[in-house]
Structure 1
Amino acid sequence: MGSRSYIIILLACLLLVNAAHGQAEPPAPIPSPTPFVADPKGIFPENAPGAPNVAADYVSLDRSLPYLERVGVDAADQRALTLAEAIEMALDNNRDIEVARKGRSIAGFELKAARWFYEPRLTGQALYERSTVPNLSIFSTNETTTQGSFVGNAGITGYIPRFGSVIRADINNQRLTTNNPIAILSPQYNSSLGFTFTQPLFRGRGMDQPRRIIEIAKRNLEITDTQFRQRSIDAVAAVEKAYWDLTYSLRNLQVQRDGVRDAKQQLEHNRRLVEEGQLAPIDIVAAETQVANYEQAVYEALNAVNIAENLLKNLIAPDRDAEIWSEVLIPIEAVERPLPDVTLSEAMENALKLRPELEINKGQKAINEVEQKFYKDQTRPQIDFVAGYSSAGVGGGINPNFSSPFCANSPEPAKCEAAQQAQLQNFLQTIGGPGSVVPDIFSNKYPTYRIGVQFNLPLLGDKASRANLGKARVDAERLEVQREAIEQAIQVEVRNAIQNIRTAEARLRTASIARENTQRQYESEQRKLDSGQSDIYRVLERQTALTAARSNELRARTELNKAIAELNRAMGRTLTANNVEAR
């Protein structure tokens, strides 16, 4: 008995009691609802402004179905595709992975370029110079002096990167000719061989700019390797999801086609019932509408297949002209995927070991350590130990234009010049001819030794280096906070992924039960219709529910597979789970 019946009985009892006591009173009137008040402006929803009467008499009389085909796809050209094949094609052809691969190559060249600084370097010059200048000396009677020189110099520089040491060897050669009468030798040969060693004592000994660039280039190369692996993980995860979406779309297309078949069978069945007098002729209209709805669903399912397939092709095709674009992709991978048996703690442990984001953060911290080491070294005083040695050689011939200015005022000029010539010959024997230059060098005839320190100190302190050091230390703190944020975000992803798998399992169970039960309900409702205990609308409702249940069951399974792929991605195990090695 409903609540309304109880209320009526209660009111009747109250009336009887009041009548017995002579105090019967009519029940209190039920307040009426607030009367509707018209809009004072006279505007009602059905009279909304801005809605012109456009195409009011339009009806479509075209009952033909559009051509059922896939745009740009040859239905006869089918290609069976496993998930492993799709992943392999994506790794070979995916543009994002190719970009990451190029980035890795660029980082490798940057490292080679940085190391080039410490390669031995050969420098030098070879030139001939001839100059004529006015005579400005009282010792020469020439109006001008012409001098020609041929220079050939070479030097080689080597480094000891570990200590910042610089070693240099130089050899200098010069052949000099002149018409200056006070020059003793013409031609004159000058050569020297020297060595220089420079060793930083404070700044530059442990770290300098070239070593900083090299160390950063090394870390960047490691980071690009990790970024390449990250791109590979993202690509593989995307292919997995696209593969299962295409699997579901094709299954849904088949379900909708089966729905059209069932709806047409139901329509024929209804027509027989009309002929037998068990149904009214108007009941056929509902079945015809059901057929039209399912036919429309087939077109929508075909469009979903086209979208899902194009998404997968975009991930695995090498270019827009590849043959795969005209092929029909048929996923043949078994939809039953093994569920990962992992606890939350195990999943988090794997994620903290394998997630590329944490490795990238680690590489950035390594770069920051290099920066701190460099800027700390830059705050030290720049004092270098310098040592050098050189050996020179001289040779040549007597200047034919030589004329001693001291013999001009001599009382016996001829005797003076003869004595002068004798002295020149003795000088030439001492100096040696052109062939004495090299022996002079290696006999250490004219050596030069140098040892000392050189320094470059800012008077007010190197504030720029200290500021850069402070910046690097703050950046280290920022990277540590960033790492904590990444770890927390990874924890959220892992937790959600595990929970999503459990939810997907429950969804699959529900979808399986729903499909089985709706099948029974549909068959039962058909039997009731045949016996006159139901109507066509309930049958069509059960038929619609059965079609949706069939589609939802595989949707739930593919969603579970996608949830498994997402958990593998969250743990950083996408590549190992699919037997992929990123190289």
Structure 2
Amino acid sequence: MFYKPACAALALFLAADLGLAQTGIPRMTPPVSSDNSPRVHELIRAGNLYLSLQDALSLAIENNLDIELQRYLLPTGDAELLRTRGGGTIRGLNFTLSEAPTGTGGPLSAVPTNAAVAGRATTGSSIATNALALNVLGEPTVNYSIQGTIPQSIGTVIPSYDPAIVGQLNWTHQTTPQTSTVQTGSNTLVTGTTLFNAGVQQGFASGAQVGLNFLNNRQSVNSFRSGYNPYTGSALGLNVTQPLLRGFGTSLNRRFIRIALNEQKMTSLLFRQQLILTVYGVIRLYTDLVALTEDEKVKQETVNLAEKLLADVRAQVEEGTLARVEMTRANAQVFSTRQDLINATGLREEQEAIFKNVITRRGNADPEVANARIIPTDTLVIPSTDEVRPMQDLIADALAQRPDINQGRLQIDNSKIGLEGARSLTKPQVDLVGVMQNNGLAGQSNPLFPTPADPGFIGGYGGVLDQIFTRKYPTYGVGVQLTVPIHNRVAEADLARDEIQVKQSGIRLRQLENQARLEVEDALIAMRRARASYDAAVQARALQQESLEAEQAKFEVGASTSFFVIQYESLLAQARSTEVAARSSYAKAKAALQRATATILEENRITLESALKPK
């Protein structure tokens, strides 16, 4: 009759375990917001979005969806660590990051570098003024996985570090027909069985599996050949299995925890890399937008000059000092400059649309943002001198600071840690097995049994527990289990494959380091070319301005025609646009150098903490 309290205690024990099992679940992350940050609308005044570069960077950190996507990478790393601490394997990280869109680019113009000669228009030579032609940066690596797309083998199985409570409560009534009445006095054997078992199982870092089990079996039969009816048999036992070769060792069995700790570091590095990509993209897009806005102004001034020339030609044609063909030429120039203005305005509008999509969450879905024109408040200025450190120092900083390289090194460390499991799997399976158990039995004397029952076993459930805890009937055992595969080709092949992947990862890391060196050198070259381009553009603009003024003076006294004035107006407009493009190229080349050396965040006063929790 004492089994009923034991059953109730078992049920409460299991219910409490189900409640406690929920405590390890990480908290839910906050829901994704699709609304723009308040700063977007605060910067809109009179239908215009006034933006400095710092404002644009702040908006991108607050709203850019690429950055928002990677913010969830950090709690992913936390969940990965939680999983491995429970004895699970790693699920892996997503190493794919996104660049900002290319945009329309800055104004593209040829630089007239030859001196103008009165009475003769020269087109000059052209040099590249956009970032791609300057080789500021090649195509970036989108997937930063060093280990490749094929995962390593799992290796030996990790024991479950989370303790598990197991239980069983079962009642059975069984009636079995008998061929003889010798056992029961009738042709049926009626058995009632009640099982109520509970246990705790847990694995340990050494590889050991431990189980503590409490077994109870209450049985009643209608047989007069049983000395006790009903009776209860119980046992409290401890079972231990400890691997000695395959699967042995704390370092081996905690390898996924070590990998997950490295993955936690990688999530921060990958988020920082995404910040670098986005910040560089915003600087590049903003610089192009400033250049396109200035170029649009240049095109408008060129239209004004062409319209003024048309008015002057019209006046001289009416006076009879010029032929009417000059009127046709001047009129064609007006329409040509207006077409250039239309093109410049279209490029600027396209750039604005792309830029809005980068610095807001909803892009053009927000009517106020869609209708607002972006007014850049910063200008493009080239300093008088470049304060640039030696290239080798910059390369050393890049190799030490770049998050893409540092997370690549951690990936290789994880690959080497994973090799431990593959090596262990090639060893024989030798396990040390031990058991220690205390037993108990008690019941009521069966009056049908011909021989009197042992009074030591007469009693209830309390007697069973007394026998168990006073260790009256102990059981001990120890042994070794051995499994030696004659051929272990699967494990050997997995180990060979994993070793090859580690070597391949080292090669990919070397490629990434070489790319970093190239990017630093390329950015320095781009800065020198951009400065030289700017110096040439300034001189060309001054020469073309001087030539135009000289030709206009000759035209006013009748010594020249509108044809040459139109040519010099075109060359001057071209020179002014190229000067704008050269300033843009320098700014983008400088940003590319900051990106290549991983200093772009510090240069723009952006910290990882502020980016993780934007206002």
How far is 1:515 from its partner?
1.5
Q: Which residue of structure 2 aligns with residue 114 of structure 1?
A: 84
Amino acid at match of 1:353: A
1:95 aligns with 2:142: no
Q: CA 1:148/1:253 → structure 2, altered by over 3 Å: closer, same or farther?
A: same
Amino acid at match of 1:223: M
CA distance in 2, matches of 1:247, 1:430: 97
More displaced 10-residue stretch of structure 1: 255-264 or 94-103 = 94-103
Amino acid at match of 2:268: D
1:572 aligns with 2:598: yes
Q: Is the 8 A contact 1:198 1:385 kept in 2?
A: yes
CA distance in 1, matches of 2:553, 2:575: 20
CA distance in 2, matches of 1:187, 1:153: 18
CA distance in 2, matches of 1:324, 1:146: 83
1:324 aligns with 2:369: yes
CA distance in 1, matches of 2:238, 2:224: 35
Amino acid at match of 1:383: V
Q: Which residue of structure 1 aligns with residue 480 of structure 2?
A: 453
Q: Which residue of structure 1 aligns with residue 52 of structure 2?
A: 82
Matches within 5 A, 1:15-34: none
Q: Which residue of structure 1 aligns with residue 410 of structure 2?
A: 363
How far is 1:388 from its partner?
2.2
Q: Which residue of structure 2 aligns with residue 10 of structure 1?
A: none
CA distance in 2, matches of 1:477, 1:434: 64
Q: Which residue of structure 2 aligns with residue 197 of structure 1?
A: 240
How far is 1:234 from its partner?
1.2
- Matching residue within 245, 263, 266 for 1:223: 266
Q: Is the 8 A contact 1:207 1:377 kept in 2?
A: no
Q: Is the 8 A contact 1:122 1:157 kept in 2?
A: yes
How far is 1:564 from its partner?
0.8
How far is 1:181 from its partner?
2.0
Q: Which residue of structure 1 aligns with residue 175 of structure 2?
A: 132
CA distance in 1, matches of 2:480, 2:382: 73
Runs (5+) with no aligned partner, structure 1: 1-73, 405-419
1:387 aligns with 2:434: yes
- Matching residue within 526, 536, 549 for 1:500: 526
Amino acid at match of 1:335: L
CA distance in 1, matches of 2:45, 2:415: 57
Q: CA 1:383/1:519 → structure 2, altered by over 3 Å: closer, same or farther?
A: same
Q: Is the 8 A contact 2:445 2:458 kept in 1?
A: no
CA distance in 2, matches of 1:166, 1:144: 44
CA distance in 1, matches of 2:252, 2:68: 32
CA distance in 1, matches of 2:185, 2:164: 47
Partner SS for 2:494: helix
Q: Is the 8 A contact 2:443 2:457 kept in 1?
A: no
Q: Is the 8 A contact 1:206 1:377 kept in 2?
A: no
Partner SS for 2:285: helix
Partner SS for 1:333: coil
Runs (5+) with no aligned partner, structure 2: 1-43, 88-160
Matches within 5 A, 1:216-365: 216-320=259-363, 321-322=365-366, 323-336=368-381, 339=386, 341-365=388-412
Residues 462-517 of structure 1: CA deviation (Å, up to 9, x unaligned): 23222222222222221222222222222222211110110000001111111122
Q: CA 1:156/1:337 → structure 2, altered by over 3 Å: closer, same or farther?
A: farther
How far is 1:136 from its partner?
4.9
Partner SS for 2:195: strand
1:463 aligns with 2:489: yes
Q: Which residue of structure 2 aligns with residue 149 of structure 1?
A: 193
CA distance in 2, matches of 1:210, 1:141: 59
Matches within 5 A, 1:420-439: 420=451, 423-424=452-453, 427-439=454-466
Partner SS for 2:72: helix
Matches within 5 A, 1:468-479: 468-479=494-505
Q: Is the 8 A contact 2:252 2:420 kept in 1?
A: no
CA distance in 2, matches of 1:132, 1:107: 58
CA distance in 2, matches of 1:293, 1:153: 94
Partner SS for 1:282: helix
Give the alignment's TM-score, normalised by structure 1.
Answer: 0.79
Q: Is the 8 A contact 1:386 1:454 kept in 2?
A: yes
Residues 503-554 of structure 1: CA deviation (Å, up to 9, x unaligned): 0000011111111221111111111111222111111111111112222211
How far is 1:110 from its partner?
2.9
CA distance in 1, matches of 2:498, 2:273: 27
CA distance in 2, matches of 1:245, 1:396: 92
CA distance in 2, matches of 1:470, 1:569: 38
More displaced 10-residue stretch of structure 1: 274-283 or 541-550 = 274-283
CA distance in 2, matches of 1:143, 1:201: 54
Partner SS for 2:586: helix
Q: CA 1:535/1:518 → structure 2, altered by over 3 Å: closer, same or farther?
A: same
Q: Is the 8 A contact 1:147 1:178 kept in 2?
A: yes
1:511 aligns with 2:533: no
Q: Is the 8 A contact 2:298 2:576 kept in 1?
A: yes
How far is 1:210 from its partner?
6.0
RMSD: 2.2
CA distance in 2, matches of 1:224, 1:114: 16
Partner SS for 2:248: coil
Amino acid at match of 1:560: Y
CA distance in 1, matches of 2:379, 2:337: 28
Partner SS for 1:293: helix
CA distance in 2, matches of 1:206, 1:125: 33
Q: CA 1:383/1:83 → structure 2, altered by over 3 Å: closer, same or farther?
A: same
Residues 415-473 of structure 1: CA deviation (Å, up to 9, x unaligned): xxxxx3xx23xx13444333211111111111111222222221x14232222222222
CA distance in 1, matches of 2:285, 2:162: 50
Partner SS for 1:580: coil
Amino acid at match of 2:401: L
More displaced 10-residue stretch of structure 1: 427-436 or 372-381 = 427-436
Q: CA 1:429/1:349 → structure 2, altered by over 3 Å: closer, same or farther?
A: closer
Residues 338-390 of structure 1: CA deviation (Å, up to 9, x unaligned): 64512210121112112333223212211211221111122222212222211
Provide the aligned length of Structure 1 versus Structure 2.
488
Amino acid at match of 2:557: S
Q: After the TM superposition, which segments of 4 or more aligned residues of structure 1 sit over 4 Å from their partners?
A: 207-210, 337-340
- Which one scores higher on RCO, CA 8 angstroms, separation ≥ 6? 2
Partner SS for 2:196: strand
Q: CA 1:523/1:205 → structure 2, altered by over 3 Å: closer, same or farther?
A: same
CA distance in 1, matches of 2:359, 2:496: 48
Q: Is the 8 A contact 1:259 1:294 kept in 2?
A: yes
More displaced 10-residue stretch of structure 1: 233-242 or 200-209 = 200-209
Q: Which residue of structure 2 aligns with residue 8 of structure 1?
A: none
Q: Which residue of structure 2 aligns with residue 181 of structure 1?
A: 224
CA distance in 1, matches of 2:271, 2:293: 33
Amino acid at match of 1:201: L
Which is greater in Rg? 1
How far is 1:325 from its partner?
2.4
Partner SS for 1:139: coil
1:484 aligns with 2:527: no
